[in-house]
A and B are shown apart, each in its own frame.
Chain A
Amino acid sequence: MSDASASALSAGVQTPVLDMRGISRSFFGVEVLHKVDFSVKRGEIMGLCGENGAGKSTLMKILAGIHAPDAGEVVFKGSPVRRNATPLEMQHAGVSMIHQELNLLNELTVAQNIFLSREPRGPTGLIAYSRMNDEARRILERLGEKIDPRRKVRDLKIAQKQMVEIAKAISFNVELLVMDEPTSPLTGRETTILFELIGSLSRQGIAVVYISHRLKEIIDVCHKVTVLRDGSFVATRSVSEVTPQQIAALMVGREVKESRAADFTGDPAATVLEVRGVSDRLLKNVSFQVRRGEILGFSGLIGAGRTELMEVIFGMRRPEGGSVLIEGRPVTVRSAIDAIRADLGFVTEDRKETGLVLCRDITDNANYVSWLKNRGLFKGRKSTADSTRQIIERLRIRCSSPAQHVSNLSGGNQQKVALAKWLLSGAKVLILDEPTRGVDVGARQEIYQIIRELAAEGVAVIVVSSDLPEILSICERVIVMHEGRITGTLAASELTEAKVMYYATDVV
């Protein structure tokens, strides 16, 4: 096995398994890719970075046969690929793609998902389920995974679903696997398992293209990284010779400073929000305070109960006990409108599910809350238009007009609209749950800047984040949770990743 992979790698040095040359592609007169070169060798793990809109997805969709290039050539395994190759042709040639959103059918079993539309058939023409299940089990074992192939996908954990996606991808004799943001739904431990798996695929001679915004992961898992910017190739570097900051600088075209937040310097007695002894099935006697102008971080593993705690505070979830005080007076928050009246704001972790009405425009989305807060039957078109224009300018939301549908905005700009809703409503306490998920590097820095400005204006900001560098760079104080309990509180000056992980895992 090791001999085979070693020879595969040495052979691969000469011949790239994939060579894309001078790829260009336009949509509606806008050039999204401009003469991009991209090549991957056998068994190589290639990171692909770029801001949202840099052209990563389009490049990969051309590779997968979803789009045809306007110009340029794709050479796979030494032979040129037909310009109008279909996704099925590319899959049979050995290219598999795992999309950011999982493409599994919840009501079917694991095996049915893996062999969808290619089910093995028995002599009668009916599906040979036992053979299908056996083969599925064999593929899963190759991934070191012991999921029963007869289980319905609906009953699997998200990490297991990810494994099923990978199993499906490698069940075509895959030679090149594209993974788009595979770790965004995974916990730290699951991510480690995935990385081991990617390593083993690479040793089996499979080339992997790994798309991610998490630059540290790129460094950890990839051999090389290619950066795209504005549809053009910028650089390919070996990961041993770059830092995450340097990759970020290549992505945005300028130096990105990795700043560290300082300790809170405001009035320590100016408590705006106090939570006392909140408990429910998951949360265990949680108490904390946040002060005027403070940026308080909540760290912990997925499932630690941070989002649930925020939903209790915001009235979207009933606690079994405990109380919430705003500026010293107890408030009863039974629904979002109660929270809004108490000047709370909540930017949820999933903007598409709970943050935005995608099929409506920026004006509507930015004003839902402020309309609720003001009396009157009518929206007041003039004042609404004025305040919307101001917030678009203030948050630097890039859009064609306030009447643009939110669905047409990039992730970063969508997140800014979700934020705008609470700024226009004049929230005094703003809860931000994963504020930069799916947001590119440039917009991420802008959102950090907005958070700092809000705090400077006296808003108490609570940031829930699974991204440790994010916590380190903006939070003045950090509360770490583990399994529904607060296990540690750290000031910015004593904050290190190691300490956070110590409190976040079950050591305490």
Chain B
Amino acid sequence: MRAVEQRPGSPVIDLALRVWRDYSILVVFVVIIVICAVAAPRFILADNLLNILRNTSTVGAIALGMTLVIIAGGIDLSSGPVLAVSGAVLILLQRMVNADGSPALPLAVAIAACLAVATAFGFVNGIIVTKAQLPPFIVTLAVGIIARSLVMYFMRGATVMGNNIPQFTGIGNGSLLSFHIGSVSFPGIPIPFIVAIAMAVVFHVLLTRTKFGTYVFAVGGNENAARYSGIKVDRIRIATYMLVGLCTGIAATIEMSRMAAVAATTSGAQYEFEAITAVIVGGTSLSGGKGRIVGSIVGFIILGIVNNMMIMLNISPYLSGAVKGAVILFAVLMQRRER
């Protein structure tokens, strides 16, 4: 082949093509927002937009960890149930009170226990996937079923209320950076979204700047080549499952704080699929080796917008699956064309 490629077109078209190739998800994102704003003018109000960000951040946090797992060639179908288990641990520890009504344990201890439990589930997933060499789809599906069953057993299928104190509920329901200047007022950025974005920055740096991130891509891209290059493939795999576990623990903390309650059957239900959807919509390849955190952020916000628009346009909630399924197909179709 000759080295020089002759491309027709002006530099402007070239630039547009490159933006489209690398950031098509962002273009789609902007188009979606414009369409929504036209279809339902209330959509664009600050309150509504901030509300979307707050609602979508729980799934968003899981989607960040899921991105790593999927890039490494795995998948985690246990996130929803693990959120319920670790959330239950958090609520049960947090609702213990002394005789005078003050919390028996510092909140930090309860949260740490929640994160530890969720990470431990990730460790179990990772160990079984790597050491027993079973497909991650089956392992995490089974672990998820077990986790959901255990939480239902110990809570007898009920909903358990937590200790409804502001320092706890403030995590999920609070906002930062609110201001009022004259008649202009800004309600502030939801804390869950700030947490999700902070996590996203960490994960982005982890994936693009650290050796660990490179090895995650290598393991997902070609496990054998990674092994022959001396990369400890199993450790990388286990680490990605532990990270998605940790993310699920953080998501559980936010979710429990928002509700101040854990429901054995419905807490975290379907979250694993929502998270996987966000990752796929964001352009990460399910076959491993390819993906970006930025894509997953856009992915989970798009899901949040879809959910929000269903309400805005008064569409039956029973149809939400139809819309989300269509979004997945559309997103994957766009990505096929790029290749």
Residues of A whose CB lies within 8 Å of any CB of B are 28-32, 53, 230, 314, 316, 335-337, 339-340, 346, 348, 353-360, 364, 367-369, 371-372, 376-379, 381, 398, 400, 410, 421
Contact = CB atoms under 8 A, between A and B. Distances in A.
A335 B231 CA distance: 10
A403 to B, nearest CB: 12
B217 A379 contact: no
Nearest to B1: A53
Contact of B289 (A346, A353, A354, A360): A360
Contacts of A354: 222, 224-225, 227-228
B209 to A, nearest CB: 6
B224 A359 contact: no
A346 B229 CA distance: 9
Interface residues of B, number: 28
30 contacts: A29-B7, A30-B1, A30-B5, A31-B2, A335-B230, A336-B231, A337-B230, A337-B231, A340-B230, A348-B228, A355-B225, A355-B228, A358-B221, A360-B214, A360-B218, A367-B214, A368-B218, A368-B229, A368-B231, A369-B230, A372-B229, A372-B230, A372-B231, A376-B211, A377-B211, A378-B209, A378-B211, A379-B209, A398-B3, A400-B3
A379 B232 CA distance: 17
Given A356-B225, A360-B289, A378-B210, A29 B5 contact: yes
B10 interface: no
Interface string B211-245: 11011011001101111111110000000000000
A359 B289 CA distance: 7
B209 A356 contact: no
Contacts of A337: 230-232
B210 A353 contact: no
B98 interface: no
Given A355-B225, A368-B226, 10 more contacts: A230-B2, A316-B228, A353-B222, A360-B217, A360-B218, A364-B214, A378-B209, A378-B210, A379-B210, A381-B209
A371 B227 contact: no
Nearest to B288: A359
Contact of B214 (A314, A353, A379): A379
A353 B209 CA distance: 26
Contacts of B229: 336, 368-369, 372, 421
B290 interface: yes
Given A335-B230, A378-B210, A379-B210, A357 B218 contact: yes
Contacts of A336: 227-231
Contacts of A372: 211, 229-231
B8 interface: yes
A3 to B, nearest CB: 48
Interface of B: 1-3, 5-8, 209-212, 214-215, 217-218, 221-222, 224-232, 289-290
Contacts of B218: 357, 360, 364, 368
A251 to B, nearest CB: 16
B180 to A, nearest CB: 42
Contacts of A364: 214, 217-218
Contacts of B224: 353-354
A53 B3 CA distance: 11
A354 B218 CA distance: 11
A367 B228 CA distance: 13
Nearest to B213: A379
A339 B230 contact: yes
B173 to A, nearest CB: 35
Contacts of B289: 357, 359-360
Contacts of A355: 225, 228
B166 to A, nearest CB: 38
A357 B210 contact: no
A22 to B, nearest CB: 20
A314 B215 CA distance: 20
Contact of A29 (B6, B211, B227, B290): B6
A355 B225 CA distance: 5
A336 to B, nearest CB: 4
A360 B221 contact: yes
Contacts of B210: 377-379
A142 to B, nearest CB: 39
Contacts of B5: 28-30
Nearest to B224: A354
Nearest to A339: B230
Nearest to B228: A354
A30 B290 CA distance: 28
Nearest to B289: A359
Nearest to B211: A371
A262 B214 CA distance: 42
A410 B3 CA distance: 12
B131 to A, nearest CB: 15
A421 B226 CA distance: 12
Contacts of A358: 221-222
Interface centre among B1, B2, B209, B229, by most chain A C-beta atoms within 10 angstroms, is B229
Contacts of A316: 227-228
Contacts of B232: 335, 337
Nearest to A373: B230
Contacts of B226: 357, 368
A442 B78 CA distance: 53
The 6 closest A-B pairs by CB, nearest first: A29-B6, A357-B221, A337-B230, A336-B230, A368-B229, A340-B230
B27 to A, nearest CB: 22
A382 to B, nearest CB: 12
Nearest to A375: B211
A359 B221 contact: yes
Nearest to B4: A30
Contacts of A381: 209
A141 B8 CA distance: 54
Contacts of A356: 222, 225
Q: Which of A314, A335, A353, A360 has the most CB of B within 10 A?
A: A360
B1 A371 contact: no
A335 to B, nearest CB: 7
A191 B229 CA distance: 33
Contacts of A379: 209-211, 214
A357 B222 CA distance: 5
Contacts of A410: 1
A230 B2 CA distance: 8
A351 B108 CA distance: 50
Given A30-B2, A337-B232, A364-B218, A359 B225 contact: no
A32 B1 contact: yes
A377 B212 contact: yes
A292 B322 CA distance: 67
Contact of A30 (B6, B227, B231): B6
Given A358-B221, A364-B218, A29 B8 contact: yes
Contacts of B1: 30, 32, 53, 410
Contacts of A359: 221-222, 289-290
A57 to B, nearest CB: 12
Nearest to A348: B228
B203 to A, nearest CB: 14
B13 to A, nearest CB: 14
A371 B3 contact: no
B214 A346 contact: no
B6 A368 contact: no
A29 B225 CA distance: 34
Contacts of A32: 1
Nearest to B209: A378
A86 B266 CA distance: 55
